[in-house]
Every structure is written in C-alpha cells, then in structure tokens.
Amino acid sequence: MRYLVLATDYDGTLANQGLVTEAVMEKLKQLQGAGRKGILVTGREMKDLVVVFPGYKIFDYIVAENGALIHETATGKETMLGPAPDLAFVRALQEKGVHPISVGKVIIATWEPYEQAVLDTIKTCGIERQVIFNKGAVMILPSGINKATGLQALLRVLHLSLHNTVAVGDAENDSALLQAAECSVAVSNALPALKAVSDWVTDAAHGNGVNELIDGLIANDLSFLNGRLSRHYLELGTEEEGHAFAICPYRSGILLSGVSGSGKTTFTLSIIESLVSKGYQFCLVDPEGDYLELPDSVVLGSGTSLPSIEEIKELLKDPVQNLVICTLSIPLADRPAFFVRLMPALLDMRRRYGHPHWLLLDEAHHLVPTAPEVSLDWLPDDFNNFILISTSPHALGPAMLSKIGMLLTIGKNPSYPFEQFCGRLGIPVPANIPSLAEDEICIWERDDTRPPYKAKFRLPLQLQQRHKKKYAQGDMGGNSFVFTGPQNKLHLKANNLLLFKHLAEGIDSDTWLFHLHRKDYTKWFRDTVHDEELARVGAEAEGMKDPGASLKHIVDFIGNKYTA
C-alpha cells in the first residue's frame, strides 16, 4: 500500500459552509476500514472546530491552528508546536483597530483588510511572525509553522512518512501541505493557484471531492496518478536519445545482475544516493561489507555480531533512518534462514507504517536461493519496491523472481542474465540485447513493449569524490599523461591532474599545441580521467587560436575543480 494517510483540510474541502455531510462521514469510516488513517489538518482553533464539527472524533488526530497544534481526540491531549501568543502584541493589534481578533493556543487570527495593520504591528513590536492568508482570513503564526510542518511533526510521532501521504485542500494555506505530501489533490472548488500545483483535481467539489478521492484510494491506491508523480522518480542516468533514465519509486521488483567486477556496487550506490536525495527510507542487507560507510545510514551487525530482529524493527520505525544490515557473521548456509526470519518483520513494518520504502539484497542468491527448504510462497502478491543484486539469476528462488518487473544488466556480457532469468521463469529471451560500454546499463521492463535499451548511468557522488581525489593528487601509474612534444623530444610524466597543470604551465608552446591539435588532452580527460566536463573544456580549447588562451582555459578549470 502506497498511501496509508489521507490528510484533509476542513473548510472548503471536507466541509461546505462549515458542515460535513453524513455521506462524507460514512466515506471516512470506509477509509479507516481499508486500513488507512485520516488526519484533519485545519486552520481552525479546536474550540471552534468542536462546535461546527461535532463528529470530529472520527479522526484520531487533528492538526489545528494551521499546523501549530496537535490534538489527540481520544484523550484531548494537545501538543503546542510553537510559543503561546504574545499578549502585548495582541494589545498592539487592538490599539490599531484590528477587529475581530481570535487568539488560540499559538495562532492569532483576524480578517482582511487588516493585513497591513498586522504587518505594521509585527514590525513595530519587533517580533518574528509570519502571516498566512486563507480566503480572507489573516493568520499570524511563529515563523516556520504551517500545515506541512504540523503534519510532519505528527507523522514522526506515529512512525509514518510523508511519502505515504496524500493531501487534499482548497485554499492558499493548503499549498505547503500539498507540496509536502507524496500526492497532492485539490477539490474542484479549489483556488486556481492550488489546482495548478496539484497532481489531481477531483471532478466533485468539497466533501464529494474528498469522497471521490477516498474511492480512488480504496479501489487502486490512486495508481492512475503514478505517471504524474515524476518529481519523485529516481533519476539514475541518461538514455542514448538524451532522455533521462528514471524509475518510479513505487513499483515492482528489480533484478540487477552482471559478472563480478562489472560495476553492480557502483550502480547500487547511485540508486541509494537517489533514494536518500528523495527522502525514501531503505534497508540494505550487506553480506560482504561493501556498504558499511554509506552516508545517511546506520549499520547494524559486523563480522562478529548480528543485530536482533527487534533491533532492526526499532531502528526502522523512524521513517528517515536508513539501515544497512551487515551479515558477515552469518555462515553462508544460514543466511536464507536469517532472511526468512527478517522478511515477515519488514512486511509487518510496511503494513503498519508504509516503510522501509525500499529493500535491497546484495548477493541475493545467498539469501533467497533455489532450495526446497527456502520457500517464499507466503510473500504477498503485491510485494514490491525491492532490488535483488546478484551475479547468478539462475540461483534465485522462483517466488522472488516472479515478482521482478525490471531487469538491469551491467558489464561485458549483458546477455547471460537475460538467459538465466528468462530460463528460470520459462519466458522468451528478448532479442537485440545491446552491448555495453563502461558506466552503461541495459534496461528491460517486462511489461513494456519496448525492447531492451541502454543508458549511461550517473556515477555516485561518493565514488566521484574518491575518484576526484585520486585523479587530482594520486598516482595514476600507467594511465598518466606524458608530454613528449614533436619528435618525442620530451618525456614529462603527469601522474595526476595537479601535476599535469604544473607541467603544462612550464612547457613550451610547440609542445602544448602538439598535443592540443592531436586532441590528446581531450581523449585523456574523457577516457582516463572520466571527466566529461573537463573533456568538453579541452574540446573548447582546441578551437582557440591563441596557445596561451587555450592553456589558461584548461588549467584554470583544473585548478577550480580539483583544488576547491
């Protein structure tokens, strides 16, 4: 299930003229019966809401005062997310003739046309406050508080994620809420500006529009909107035609396969960096200690110890905490049994909280092998968002392979994973599998009519930083650049870019131009240093008539990029 939470505004969205119909109340009960949670996010103060909305306890939690207050309906417990109003500020507003004024636990509110008086009073009093508008209402709140921050504070307490939330609203003050949620919906009576930033606009207005949204959630988890959520896609590289290679963050399983040393770990790092940048939680099972220094993650386990399942679950409750589970201490023969113990816990986490969003299994053939004693037939039909990383697709259990929707192959022999994968599933091997160069990957989406195609994948920043240091200061050995000049008069070896810069600044013009005109610099930058940006600078220098200008163009770029 992608969306566990429906966050809805009250006035103009759930309610029409302040009233919620019985049909809407019944639909909210259906939402809860389907295992989803409704959260009311309103600009109103609780003292007003309970009067106009007697059925407010249909929600377990209410984020009130435009994100400044969390109210638990069962107990009446309230959590203020900002300081109480400054009474001196309230008096100053009254002295300026602002009327009416409503003072909540955190919020202060009035109406247009007093917005200028409010701004003047904020300036005069020297307090830090923000003004938020809502169809004529003027709301005064501490800086940084809005519906999105209030909802996020509540979700963290509940161990839930904005990535598993759909939000619906109608007015200006709903904008932050809708932009924060994974999926944003505007009811048909919403302001045009809000409709413009929404993923979907319902056909119906007010509560009927919310009913329409709930029907879509229950029927198919709003799957018809997946293509509109491209801002969440994981951008991993560039196809030959120049189009971005990106994958939907909510999808069927992926198999990444290739021979040892083909670059699977490098590409996996690219995927992980994309998950981190988009805020999706991952859990990676690492049997060989290849991912123990990942940024933005915690490692449990080592070569001598293994964390308990309870430790893993407790850490993963926090939706922003990523986890690497090191299984080096588990004998090879016992790893499938560990996975069989781990998997139900992760499935329960997803059922209750919607995360971890992605599960990555390195050396997956050791965890889910083809063996009679390792049955995974109990996996749910909709098990998704996982990546199997393996050199040996033929050794993977069929229950897992059957849930693979995308095959990614890498390395010098991209065909053999297709043959093994298709052979295990008894399906035809696709034709015209492309050959691959370095940093390229072959992609095949099983349910797509498109044949296998390739893309150049983006090197992970972690690797780029390591390469940057190597090429700038390290010893490139046999890959060094050698200045020879015409007739091989010289033999000046630059075993890194900084030495290249130093030598280039001291050689004569004939030697510099000799290599420039032969495109030696550009070739070295592209094929050996693997820096397309620097290669482009080299190509630009080749078109310059002034030797000094071409030299300066290249060495200045090296200095700026590799010594910064």
**pLDDT for residue 538 is more than 60:** yes
Pick the closest to residue 15 from 39, 42, 47, 36 (CA basis): 42
Q: Which pLDDT score is estimated for 285?
A: 96
Prior bond to 356 cis, omega within 30? yes
Contact by Cβ (8 Å): 149, 169: no
Model confidence band, residue 373 (pLDDT cutoffs 50, 70, 90): low
Would you state the torsion angle of the CA atoms of residues 211, 216, 222, 224, taken in this order, to the nearest 10 degrees? -120
Q: 100-104, 147-151, 323-327, 475-479: lowest mean pLDDT where?
A: 475-479
Q: Which pLDDT score is estimated for 470?
A: 63
- What the chain holds in terms of domains, given with CATH numbers, is 1-78+145-230 (3.40.50.1000), 82-144 (3.90.1070), 233-459 (3.40.50.300), 464-562 (no CATH)
Q: Which pLDDT score is estimated for 465?
A: 53
Q: Kindly state the tokens that stand for 408.
A: 């990614």
Q: How far apart are CA 491 and CA 485, in angstroms?
A: 8
CA 506 to chain centre: 48
Q: Which pLDDT score is estimated for 312?
A: 96
SS3 for 209-260 is: HHHHHHHHHHHHCCHHHHHHCHHHCEEEEEECCCCEEEECCCCCEEEEECCC
Q: Report pLDDT digits (tens) over 117-164.
A: 999 999 889 888 999 998 888 999 999 999 999 999 999 999 999 999
Highest mean pLDDT among 92-96, 107-111, 199-203, 329-333: 199-203
Q: What is the end-to-end Cα distance of the chain in Å, rounded?
A: 45
Q: Report pLDDT digits (tens) over 407-427.
A: 999 998 999 999 999 999 999
Q: Which pLDDT score is estimated for 10?
A: 98
Q: The tokens 């002034």 sit on which residue?
A: 546
Q: Is 119 helix (H, G, I), strand (E, B) or coil?
A: helix
Q: The tokens 């037939």 sit on which residue?
A: 377
Average pLDDT over residues 465-489: 79
**pLDDT for residue 101 is more than 90:** yes
Structure-model confidence comparison of residues 528 and 493, the more confident one: 493
Model confidence band, residue 466 (pLDDT cutoffs 50, 70, 90): low
Q: What's the mean per-residue pLDDT of the chain?
A: 92
Beta strands in 123-211 (DSSP E): 129-134, 137-142, 165-169, 183-186, 200-201
Query: Which strands make up the sheet holding 386-390, listed edge to edge?
Result: 244-247, 234-239, 453-457, 440-445, 404-410, 253-257, 386-390, 358-362, 282-286, 322-326, 297-300
Percent residues over pLDDT 70 in the chain: 98
Structure-model confidence comparison of residues 262 and 249, the more confident one: 249
Average pLDDT over residues 469-496: 86
Q: Which pLDDT score is estimated for 462?
A: 64
**pLDDT for residue 263 is more than 90:** no
Q: Which pLDDT score is estimated for 463?
A: 55
Quote the crossing angle between the two packed helices 22-33 and 206-220, to the nearest 10°: 20
Pick the closest to residue 285 from 359, 385, 357 (CA basis): 359
**pLDDT for residue 170 is more than 70:** yes
Beta bridge partners of 5: 37, 165
**pLDDT for residue 471 is more than 80:** no
Query: What are the distances in angstroms from CA 7 to CA 105, 112, 316, 357?
Result: 22, 27, 23, 20
Q: Which pLDDT score is estimated for 436?
A: 94
Percent residues over pLDDT 90 in the chain: 79
Average pLDDT over residues 491-504: 92
Beta strands in 315-452 (DSSP E): 322-326, 358-362, 386-390, 404-410, 440-445
Q: Report pLDDT digits (tens) over 334-347.
A: 999 999 999 999 99
Pick the closest to residue 521 from 461, 467, 507, 238 (CA basis): 507
Average pLDDT over residues 215-231: 96
Contact by Cβ (8 Å): 245, 443: yes
**pLDDT for residue 464 is more than 60:** no
